């Protein structure tokens, strides 16, 4: 094939996707940065000429707004508790499902994974009823062991844990599959050799499984954290960010600023802060992983 | 020793089964509550199964609350997004994997860099752009972010790398045009990854909430999640009705997942392999 023919074909095949991604993704990313430096508000929505560049004013106002810090704190609470919990449950489920003695592996894998394919909005509505202080199943189960009743979504201390529980339930199956794939890549000879040396279950887990899974942990950790930073539908449907703003996430805050109050400049600044936070968090995880022996 | 193994095996299954029950209970309760007569899901102590099975809530959703329209909207959006994504991503992914051309490296690196930008960053200007183009409140507006995706291109590229060059060159020697090579040789060879991409795209557009919420402001065009979130505002007391709506929203994707789970599960596992 001539180089010229290949070059033309390559660009022709790329053209549709690149055009779409360029116009509807990269262009808006750049525009978003500019937008965050303007006072774009409801008057500018009516006529964009009303918007003016204001430098870093949106960012300065955000830093001074208590609600911004609440949203940031809630989001970190959600990520720092929810993501490790999801990863741990996923690892546990993967070890169980992948155990040699287990029959019906396919059934268990499907059952654990099923919540992940469900629609978040629908499932958040279901859990809203499950969390009902009087008629909900969660409190009914807890009552059998003498706990409760807890006003899950009406109490500022419990609303975020309630959302975390729902999100762990919906997401662990996905990470479980990735762990199962990681477990299946560990050479069986390693375990056989360890068994010959008389290593017990725990020793094999610590010295073979965990180190061999290190790259999987990194992948799962990054993917889960990135996804969790974007929490939106669950608090939107279940609590509207309440009670007392205890479940207001960064994305929900951005949505309300941008599409409820039409302060697009300020909302774009929130989006960029979120972007920087996610990026920093990802780089941090990569760095920690690399420094570990 | 043998007896110990059996006890171990039994215990393992008890734990797994308990986990499966706990995982599936919310979904089973959703179905069960959707079949209860009005008011029965709000009794104390809570009951799990209906005393009498009724489909009245489903009937009400389709007659009075026009759920059929939202079902139709969701289907149009998810199916057209899936078809576009299959075509555009497979072309681009194949080109990046198999065609040598000037500028391939830079394109690859720019796309890779784009992977770290969360979609929320684009949403505000994208909304203004689509408004200027007259695409707010249209199906096209709802599918725009899913038509071609960086994730999809990389998924395809990864798979296309494994297609032998000899296969492509043989077709070229037979005088096939580049498009012909793509259409008759490359696409059939990529069938498994196309199935994976299709189910990924369908599920994510069907389940998506934030973007349709932003771009569809007229209830004639609502997708199911947007309609449902809206409905719960007015009908929060009607637990059984809301559960019927949730079942109708979740059922199509769960059925699709069960039918195609091989491709989906393999796609997730393969996607993590390079990680």
**For residue B259, what is the domain's CATH number?**
1.10.3720.10
Average pLDDT, chain A: 92
pLDDT, mean of residues B149-178: 92
Per the CB < 8 Å rule, is A129 touching B33? yes
Q: Is B123 on the interface with A (CB under 8 A)?
A: yes
Q: Is residue B257 part of a domain?
A: yes
Distance CA(A111)–CA(B18), nearest Å, equals: 11
CA-based nearest residue in chain A for residue B74: A119
pLDDT tens for B47-56 read: 889 989 999 9
CB < 8 Å to A178, chain B: 268-269, 272, 275
Range of the structural domain that residue B106 is part of:
65-273
* Residues of chain A under the 50 pLDDT cut: none
Indicate the residue of A12, A13, A122 with minimum beta-carbon distance to B250.
A122
Indicate the residue of B125, B239, B249 with minimum beta-carbon distance to A35.
B125
Per the CB < 8 Å rule, is B250 touching A118? yes
Per the CB < 8 Å rule, is B123 touching A258? yes
CA-based nearest residue in chain B for residue A109: B20
Q: Provide the shortest C-alpha distance from residue B99 to chain A (in Å).
A: 6
pLDDT tens for B28-45 read: 999 999 999 998 888 888
CB < 8 Å to B100, chain A: 3, 6-7, 10
Q: Provide the shortest C-alpha distance from residue B210 to chain A (in Å).
A: 7
Q: Is residue B52 part of a domain?
A: no
Per-residue HEC secondary structure of chain A comes to CCHHHHHHHHHHHHHHHHHHHHHHHHHHHHHHHHHCCECCCHHHHHCHHHCCECCCHHHHHHHHCHHHHHHHHHHHHHHHHHHHHHHHHHHHHHHHHHCCCCCCHHHHHHHHHHHHHCCHHHHHHHHHHHCCCCCCHHHHHHHHCCCCCCCCCCCCCCHHHHHHHHHHHHHHHHHHHHHHHHHHCCCHHHHHHHHHCCCCHHHHHHHHHHHHCHHHHHHHHHHHHHHHHCCCHHHHHHCCCCCCCCCCCHHHHHHHHHHHCCCHHHHHHHHHHHHHHHHHHHHHHHHHHHHCC
Average pLDDT, chain B: 91
Q: Which of A121, A231, A259 has the most B C-beta neighbours within 10 Å, making it the best mutation to test the interface with B?
A: A121
Distance CA(A135)–CA(B42), nearest Å, equals: 6
Q: Is residue B132 part of a domain?
A: yes
Which CATH superfamily is A64-291 part of? MetI-like (1.10.3720.10)
Q: Is residue B143 part of a domain?
A: yes
Per the CB < 8 Å rule, is B148 touching A114? no
Q: Is residue B224 part of a domain?
A: yes
In chain B, the number of structural domains is 1
Distance CA(B247)–CA(A122), nearest Å, equals: 8
Indicate the residue of B214, B254, B270 with minimum beta-carbon distance to A118.
B254
Give the CA distances from residue B187 to residues B88, B193, B232, in Å, rounded to whole numbers and listed in that order: 12, 10, 44
Prior bond of A172 cis (ω within 30°): no
Distance CA(A191)–CA(A98), nearest Å, equals: 14
B87 pLDDT band (50/70/90 cuts)? very high
Distance CA(B98)–CA(B164), nearest Å, equals: 9
CB < 8 Å to A272, chain B: 121
Q: Provide the shortest C-alpha distance from residue B12 to chain A (in Å).
A: 7
Q: Which of residues 29-48 of A touch B (CB under 8 A)?
A: 29, 31-32, 35, 45, 48
pLDDT at A292 (0 to 100): 66
Q: Is residue B22 part of a domain?
A: no
ipTM: 0.91
pLDDT tens for B170-206 read: 999 998 888 999 999 999 999 989 999 999 999 999 9
Q: Is residue B226 part of a domain?
A: yes
pLDDT tens for B204-252 read: 999 999 999 999 988 899 999 999 999 998 888 899 999 999 999 999 9
Distance CA(B33)–CA(B225), nearest Å, equals: 19
CB < 8 Å to A132, chain B: 42
Q: Provide the shortest C-alpha distance from residue A157 to chain B (in Å).
A: 23
Q: Is residue B194 part of a domain?
A: yes
Only one residue has tokens 């997401």, namely: A171
pLDDT at B275 (0 to 100): 37
């Amino acid at each position: 094939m001539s180089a010229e023919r290949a070059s033309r074909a390559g660009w022709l095949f790329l053209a549709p996707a690149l055009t779409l991604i360029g116009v509807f993704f990269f262009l808006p990313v750049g525009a978003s940065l500019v937008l965050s430096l303007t006072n774009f508000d409801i008057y500018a929505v009516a006529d964009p000429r009303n918007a003016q560049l204001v430098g870093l004013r949106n960012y300065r106002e955000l830093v001074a707004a208590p609600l911004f810090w609440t949203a940031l704190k809630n989001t970190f609470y959600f990520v720092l508790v929810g993501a490790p919990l999801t990863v741990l449950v996923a690892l546990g489920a993967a070890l169980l499902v992948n155990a040699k003695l287990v029959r019906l592996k396919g059934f268990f894998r499907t059952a654990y994974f099923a919540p992940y394919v469900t629609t978040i909005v629908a499932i958040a509505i279901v859990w809203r009823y499950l969390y009902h202080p009087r008629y909900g199943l969660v409190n009914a189960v807890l009552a059998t062991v003498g706990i409760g009743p807890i006003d899950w979504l009406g109490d500022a201390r419990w609303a975020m844990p309630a959302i975390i529980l729902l999100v762990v339930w919906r997401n662990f199956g996905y990470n479980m599959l990735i762990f199962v794939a990681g477990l299946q890549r560990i050479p069986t000879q390693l375990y056989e050799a360890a068994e010959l040396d008389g290593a017990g279950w725990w020793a094999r887990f610590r010295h073979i499984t965990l180190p061999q899974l290190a790259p999987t942990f990194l992948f799962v950790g990054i993917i889960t954290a990135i996804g969790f930073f974007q929490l939106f539908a669950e608090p939107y449907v279940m609590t509207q960010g309440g009670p007392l703003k205890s479940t207001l996430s960064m994305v929900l805050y951005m949505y309300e600023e941008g599409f409820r109050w039409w302060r697009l400049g300020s909302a774009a600044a929130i989006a960029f802060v979120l972007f920087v936070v996610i990026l920093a968090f990802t780089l941090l995880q990569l760095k920690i992983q690399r420094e570990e022996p | 020793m043998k007896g110990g193994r059996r006890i171990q095996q039994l215990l393992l299954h008890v734990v797994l089964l308990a986990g499966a029950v706990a995982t599936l209970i919310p979904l089973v309760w959703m179905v069960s509550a959707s079949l209860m007569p009005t008011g029965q899901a709000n009794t104390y102590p809570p009951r799990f199964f209906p005393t009498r099975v009724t489909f009245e809530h489903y009937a009400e959703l389709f007659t009075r609350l026009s759920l059929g329209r939202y079902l139709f909207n969701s289907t149009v959006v998810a199916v057209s997004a899936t078809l576009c994504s299959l075509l555009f991503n497979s072309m681009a992914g194949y080109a990046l994997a198999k065609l040598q051309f000037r500028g391939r490296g830079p394109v690859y690196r720019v796309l890779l860099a784009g992977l770290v930008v969360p979609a929320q960053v684009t949403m505000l200007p994208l909304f203004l752009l689509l408004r200027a183009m007259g695409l707010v409140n249209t199906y096209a507006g709802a599918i725009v972010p899913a038509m071609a995706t960086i994730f999809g291109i990389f998924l395809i590229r990864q798979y296309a790398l494994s297609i032998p060059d000899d296969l492509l060159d043989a077709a070229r020697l037979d005088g096939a045009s580049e498009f012909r090579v793509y259409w008759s040789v490359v696409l059939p060879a990529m069938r498994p990854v196309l199935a994976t991409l299709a189910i990924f795209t369908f599920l994510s557009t069907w389940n998506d909430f934030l973007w349709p919420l932003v771009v569809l402001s007229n209830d004639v065009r609502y997708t199911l999640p947007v309609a449902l979130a809206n409905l719960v505002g007015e009908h929060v007391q009607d637990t059984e009705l809301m559960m019927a709506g949730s079942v109708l929203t979740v059922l199509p994707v769960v059925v699709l997942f069960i039918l195609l789970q091989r491709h989906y599960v393999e796609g997730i596992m393969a996607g993590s392999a390079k990680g």
